[in-house]
Amino acid sequence: MANKNKKLPFFLPGIGVLCLVFFMAVPSITKAQMFSITDQTTPQEVPLTNIYVGYEPVNFEFDGDASLIPQRSKYNYNDPILRFRLEAPGVELYFGYGAKFTGSQDVNYLNVGGKYYRHFRVLGDRKMSLFIPVQLRLDVTNVRNDQVVTDQFRQSSFSFGGGAGFRVRLGKSVRLNADIMPQYGYSVSAGATFGGSIYALTGQSRLYFDDLFGKFGLSVGYDYNFKRYDINVNRFDYKLHANSLLLGITF
C-alpha cells in the first residue's frame, strides 16, 4: 500500500522562504543602486551591494526540560557550516548549510532567511555617525538527524528588533560599520499546529576596502548570532550560539 503521508525533503521550506524574500527584495536592491548612502550633503558614491561567503562554527544545543533525557541531544549540532550572504541597503538575504562535508556525522543543519531593515541616524557627520537600526526578520532553521526517521526540528520564525550601531570612515576608501540588535518574535513548527516564541541577539561588523578593482572592492565581516527557541512542545526548546567569519566583494 502506498504511503500517503510521504514528507517533502527537509530543505524545501527553507528554499521556498528564500525565494519569497528574494522576490520581495528585488525592487529595493534595484532602487538602491541609484543612490549614495554616505552623506546627505556630500554626494560620494560607495558600493551598495555586498556578496559574502563565510565559515561559521555553530553550537546548537537542547535547552529544555532536563527530564527529557532521550530527546536532549537528538538535534545537537556542534560543527561549522558554510554561510552565504547578499546585502544591499534595506535588505539582507542569507543561507547556511552544514553536513558531513563540514564535519558533522549524523546531523544536517540548514538556516535560510532574510531581513528588511532601516537605519535612523541620530547624530554624526560624513566621517562618523551613530544610528538606530530597526528590522523585520524571517528565518527558517531545519535540523535533521539521519538516525531519526520522523519528528525533525523545523522552525520558521518571524521577529522584530531594534538596536544601536555606528559608521566610521577610516580613509578615502576604507569604511567600518557595526551594529547590535536584540529581537523577539514567534516561531512555528513546519507541518505542525504548535509553536512558541524566539529571542535572538545579533551583532554585525563590516570593514570595507572600496574601489580596489575599478568599481569592485573587498569586505571582511564578523557576525554573532544567538537564538533561543521556547516552543510549546518542550523537546524543541533549543538555543544557538554562532560566530561567522566572512569575506566578500562589494560593487
SS (H, E, C) 84-103: EEEEECCEEEEEEEECHHHC
| Residue range 187-203, pLDDT digits in tens | 998 766 788 999 999 99
Is the pLDDT reported for residue 37 higher than 60? no
Distances (CA, A) of 137 to 84, 92, 163, 174, 183: 17, 9, 14, 29, 9
| Residue range 42-85, pLDDT digits in tens | 345 788 899 999 999 999 999 987 776 565 568 999 999 999 99
Mean of pLDDT values over 220-247: 95
Looking at this protein, which amino acid is placed at residue 147?
Q
Coil, strand or helix at 21: helix
Is the pLDDT reported for residue 35 higher than 90? no
> How many Cβ atoms from other residues are within 10 Å of residue 216's Cβ?
12
pLDDT above 90 coverage of the chain, percent = 65
| Residue range 13-27, pLDDT digits in tens | 444 444 444 444 444
Helices (H) and strands (E) in the chain — how many of each? 1, 11
Coil, strand or helix at 28: helix
Quickly state the pLDDT bin for 168 (edges 50, 70, 90). very high
Mean of pLDDT values over 207-219: 94
Are the CB atoms for 76 and 61 separated by under 8 Å? yes
Pick from 57, 136, 39: which is nearest to 96 by CA? 57
Fold of 12-36+48-250: Lipocalin (2.40.128)
pLDDT of residue 69: 55
Grid cell listed for 22: 528574494
pLDDT of residue 10: 44
pTM of the model: 0.80
Mean of pLDDT values over 160-179: 96
Pick from 56, 72, 54: which is nearest to 64 by CA? 72
Mean of pLDDT values over 144-167: 91
How is the chain split into domains, by residue range?
A: 12-36+48-250
pLDDT of residue 72: 57
Quickly state the pLDDT bin for 32 (edges 50, 70, 90). very low
Phi-psi region of 90 (alpha: psi -120 to 50; beta: other; left: phi over 0): left
